[in-house]
Structure 1
């Protein structure tokens, strides 16, 4: 009797996409921090669906946090068996996986600092890439018009502290490049958190600059 060979299961399209995205994420982690990032949990698409009640627009959608423009995002509250409160950022547009993988990689590095969101994990299987943050201390988008001058100074100090951390805490300094009010969240204690690192670049050790292909800059808002 001849040997029976078990056929290997052909990976699904979503699995192939997840593998390609995972390879890019690993490349960014190696470049940014020699692969020594904080632990990242990889959620399945089903886990994200369950956590957000199928991205419910009625009970889970956080419309006040949504981002618009070329790299639009939708935000959802959620929970699972290990995390009673999570904040899920879903990128609406495809085709920019490389930038979003950079967002995940840098987020994992700064996750332990008080002026950055605490990263829980990400989902690489979904059609639209998803990033998951801890939301035990509820977060809201900054509305600077509602803040007193004293509070504005505290927020500016928090963000300056975040920049100093990016510039000095790692072997390769990081340049943020896209400061805007939409990229600052406030937790329920009033602490400012910097988010969105897709345009963040690292400067190689011993160098003072790095060439980039995509122009990005600071957005000033009165």
Structure 2
């Protein structure tokens, strides 16, 4: 109930009155789609707290399922809400839905193509430039496509996937910040291991 209420609030607030429908999956649907998160369905443990699985159900012959082992409700709902808004763009994964009742955070994406973790050392300079161009396009879309600009504050190679055609996809909008209407900046407080606290000011660029 807590997750559902927070997600609904974020969808309304960030969506600026526009509907971005997503499917809510039950936990047993996710287990069935992934064969109980079988290792045979594991695509890649991209990092120590996120695991990706291939799956399918009666409506989607191929889906990509992200299981987040360490998350906060606020971050989960922000990720789902923003992902639903950018799903139509080629440089973001297309969100199908999410599961709010499982112990871990689960998000479900269209998996029509294979995706791989970005390893910079394996990329030629030409490919690196193409990836940089894809990311610049994705960030520009976040800044300009919505009434309230979004600022991505967590850019890292860990949050970039490559599909089988080499197209870079930006993921994880947990720390994405929106600039309020008629405001030129927003103040953000970041916590690091509950010890170090950073306060930054993000300005809207016109």
* 43, 68, 71: which one aligns with 1:91: 68
Tell me the TM-score normalised to structure 2 length. Answer: 0.89
Alignment root-mean-square deviation, CA: 1.5
| Aligned position for 1:66 | 46
Structure with greater Cα Rg = 1
| Aligned position for 1:77 | 54
Q: Is the 8 A contact 1:178 1:216 kept in 2?
A: no
- In structure 2, how many angstroms separate the alpha carbons of the residues matched to 1:192 and 1:156? 9
Shift in Å at residue 163 of structure 1?
0.2
* 84, 87, 90: which one aligns with 1:108: 84
The superposition leaves residues 36-71 of structure 1 with CA deviations (integer Å, 9 ceiling, x where unpaired) of 2432000000000000000012x11123x4223xxx
* 138, 153, 170: which one aligns with 1:194: 170
- In structure 1, how many angstroms separate the alpha carbons of the residues matched to 2:106 and 2:42? 14
- In structure 2, how many angstroms separate the alpha carbons of the residues matched to 1:76 and 1:216? 36
Q: Is the 8 A contact 1:175 1:200 kept in 2?
A: yes
SS at the partner of 1:179? coil
Which runs of structure 1 show a deviation greater than 6 angstroms over 4 or more consecutive aligned residues?
none
SS at the partner of 2:41? coil
Q: Is the 8 A contact 1:38 1:111 kept in 2?
A: no
Shift in Å at residue 29 of structure 1?
1.1
The superposition leaves residues 150-207 of structure 1 with CA deviations (integer Å, 9 ceiling, x where unpaired) of 1111110000000000000000001101110010001111110000000001001121
Q: Which has the higher strand share?
A: 2
1:21 and 2:13 matched = no
Aligned residues: 193
Q: Is the 8 A contact 1:177 1:216 kept in 2?
A: no
SS at the partner of 2:182? coil
What are the ranges of 5 or more consecutive residues in structure 1 without an aligned counterpart?
A: 1-18, 218-222
- In structure 2, how many angstroms separate the alpha carbons of the residues matched to 1:37 and 1:200? 19
Q: Is the 8 A contact 1:184 1:193 kept in 2?
A: yes
SS at the partner of 1:150? helix
Q: Is the 8 A contact 1:26 1:35 kept in 2?
A: no
Q: Is the 8 A contact 2:16 2:147 kept in 1?
A: no
| Aligned position for 2:159 | 183
SS at the partner of 1:62? strand
